Amino acid sequence: MRKNPQKSPARVRTFAAFLAFFASLLALFCALGCTPRPEAAKETSAAMDTVMTLTVYGGETDALAAAKDRVLELEARLSVTDPDSDVSALNRTGTAVLSPDTAELLSRALELCARTDGALDVTVYPVVRAWGFTTGDYTVPDEDALAALLEKVDYTEVRLEGDTASLPVGAEIDLGAVAKGWTGDELAALLREKGVESALLELGGNIHTVGTKPDGSDWRVAVRDPADGEGYLGVVSVSDKAVVTSGGYERYFERDGVRYWHIMDPATGAPARSGLASVTVVADSGLYADALSTALFVMGREAALDYWRANRDFEAILVSEDGSVTVTGGLEEAFTLSGERPLAVVRA
């Protein structure tokens, strides 16, 4: 005889509990996975002497167009090679009324020149030009010519009162070491105002991240290997940060087997030979990261680490010319080296 197929009340309860559990799991998965992801809007253009790619998720529909317009506006004011820019007007005449944007950036750049004790110096431009880095017409200037130009290199001589700037006779400025970083800050602020909570702004070697990736995970930013034009050194995981690299590989020429690059030591008027091949700075502010990536490159490894110890408001990846890598303690978890090479973590 068949057994009564009716289930016992206890089994029914277990089955009902299982069904309820399964239903709640399904609801949870749907809440996480079925929420529509914001669409990506992406644009690549040539600006500020580099390739810029802006990828924006969500926010108002005009957010990306507004960001692009802002880049063009800032470029028109800050470019040292555009004869109509504020910077060119100042360099040409020695005194100029600047737009509020240029005045703000110059003011903040001068503070950073002071904070880095002149390793960053916005008045290094005549020297940069003498080496041909503004035109691509490269040359190794003779020592007398450099010595004469170096006399004009001194950021403490730049006067800025309100929006009016003036320079000593023969001095010229270039905001190229900080302009892209500051532009990243400006774009991030503009996008947030327009409701964007997630964006990746690639401004040449400057990466600016807004929020996290749309799925809530960190952005993974590749750091270039300075010894290999195509390859990368590792990956740094960040959200809401700027990741800015200055490297000798970005712009250089070779004469008689010597490589000369575009980052100058304002103390010597020659390309900075500090033993570093690249410096990547991770900070909340793009301006700060950009200023520091240039300045720490000039300072060299030991002085750069001393600067980090004294300030502790940024993190850095220092790649030496011998290929060894040093990272500051705050990046110990966030930075992953891609190959085998010496890595030192400095914690204090």
Least distance from ligand AMP to the Cβ atom of residue 109, Å: 8
Residues 6+ apart with CB under 8 A from 259: 248, 252, 253
By a kind-dependent CB cut-off of 5 to 8 A, residue 127 interacts, out of Mg ion, ligand AMP, none, with: none
Q: Helix H segments across 178-300?
A: 179-193, 286-299
Instruction: Name the residue nearer to ligand AMP (CB basis): 56 or 179.
Output: 179
The C-alpha atoms of residue 28 and residue 48 are separated, in whole angstroms, by 46
Q: Pick out residues in 165-184 that bind Mg ion (CB under 5 A).
A: 177
Q: Pick out residues in 197-256 that bind ligand AMP (CB under 6 A).
A: 246
Instruction: Name the residue nearer to Mg ion (CB basis): 293 or 328.
Output: 293
Least distance from Mg ion to the Cβ atom of residue 294, Å: 4
Asked if 75 touches Mg ion (CB under 5 A), the answer is: no
CA angle centred on 73, ends 70 and 78, rounded to 5°: 120
Task: Return the range that interacts with ligand AMP (CB under 6 A); candidates 84-92, 94-102, 117-125, 161-169.
Answer: 117-125
Least distance from Mg ion to the Cβ atom of residue 177, Å: 4
Phi first, then psi: give them for residue 321, nearest 5 degrees: -65, -20
One residue of 183, 294, 320, 326 binding ligand AMP per CB under 6 A: 294
Q: Pick out residues in 119-158 that bind ligand AMP (CB under 6 A).
A: 120-122, 124, 128, 133
The C-alpha atoms of residue 186 and residue 111 are separated, in whole angstroms, by 18
Instruction: Name the residue nearer to ligand AMP (CB basis): 196 or 263.
Output: 263
Q: Is 48 exposed, middle or buried (0-12, 13-18, 19+ CB in 10 A)?
A: buried
Residue 248 DSSP label: T
Asked if 75 touches ligand AMP (CB under 6 A), the answer is: no
Q: What is the DSSP string of 98-129?
A: PPHHHHHHHHHHHHHHHHTTTSS-GGGHHHHH
**Nearest of 72, 62, 68 to residue 43 by alpha carbon:** 68
Instruction: Name the residue nearer to ligand AMP (CB basis): 176 or 211.
Output: 176
Task: Return the range that interacts with ligand AMP (CB under 6 A); candidates 56-64, 223-231, 286-294, 308-316.
Answer: 286-294
Instruction: Name the residue nearer to Mg ion (CB basis): 198 or 246.
Output: 246
Least distance from ligand AMP to the Cβ atom of residue 301, Å: 16
By a kind-dependent CB cut-off of 5 to 8 A, residue 263 interacts, out of ligand AMP, Mg ion, none, with: ligand AMP
Cβ atoms 283, 241 nearer than 8 A: yes
The C-alpha atoms of residue 244 and residue 236 are separated, in whole angstroms, by 11
Q: What is the torsional sign of CA 63, 64, 65, 69? A: positive
Question: Which residues of the chain form contacts with Mg ion (CB under 5 A)?
Answer: 177, 290, 293-294
Instruction: Give contact residues for ligand AMP (rule: CB under 6 A).
Output: 120-122, 124, 128, 133, 174, 176-177, 246, 262-264, 266, 290, 293-294, 298
